Structure 1
């Protein structure tokens, strides 16, 4: 906008022409004002709470046969002594299985 005014001024444009250009630009700015983003004071509100399609995944988990097992849960895992019950737990900052001597229950 300022570039146009400077260019018109250099070419010798008259004062009424500059005034008309300025009035037109102010009119355009006032018409665009409702389209500008809302004030920062207005907060967006969610219409509905987000819904989960399934239970959220645990943050810490162990793997067993390609499945995630939550921390504190037991699973039947393969060991060198056959399938045994094991508890998924944490050792320092790593997830690990605590294998029991109990064999897996047969169904």
Structure 2
């Protein structure tokens, strides 16, 4: 049974490699990340910003800047514009 001798040689040859790998400390590849609020799954865009579904924002319309709410129409995100002008600061 020559295969037993071959198996023994392979096990002995691999033993030092496994021992060295187990002795090395684990090194993190990526730095830890800061905790952040989860990004909303559905959102609307305005002025380069994401607005979560249900949130309100001032958007530009043909009647000037108006308060609008981000909402869903069937399966598409859309703005529901109100007649309320944006508050000025």
TM-score, with length taken from structure 1: 0.58
| 1:98 Cα deviation from its structure 2 partner | 0.3
Q: Secondary structure at the match of 2:7?
A: helix
- 1:62 matched residue in structure 2: 44
Q: 1:88 aligns with which of 66, 70, 75?
A: 70
Q: 1:69, CA displacement in angstroms?
A: 0.3
Greater percentage in strand: 2
Within 2, Cα distance between the matches of 1:82 and 1:100?
A: 12
| 1:38 corresponds to | none
Q: What is the aligned length? A: 74
Q: How does 1:45-60 map to 2 (within 5 A)?
A: 52-60=34-42
User: Once the 2 structures are TM-superposed, how far is the Cα of residue 75 of structure 1 from its aligned partner?
Assistant: 0.1
- Higher RCO (CA 8 Å, separation ≥ 6 residues): 2
Q: Which whole-Å deviations, capped at 9, do the CAs of 1:3-62 have from their partners, x for residues lacking one?
A: xxxxxxxxxxxxxxx85x852x12124334794xxxxxxxxxxxxxx8554222110000
Aligned: 1:30 with 2:37: no
Larger Rg: 1
- Alpha-carbon RMSD across the aligned residues, in angstroms, is 2.6
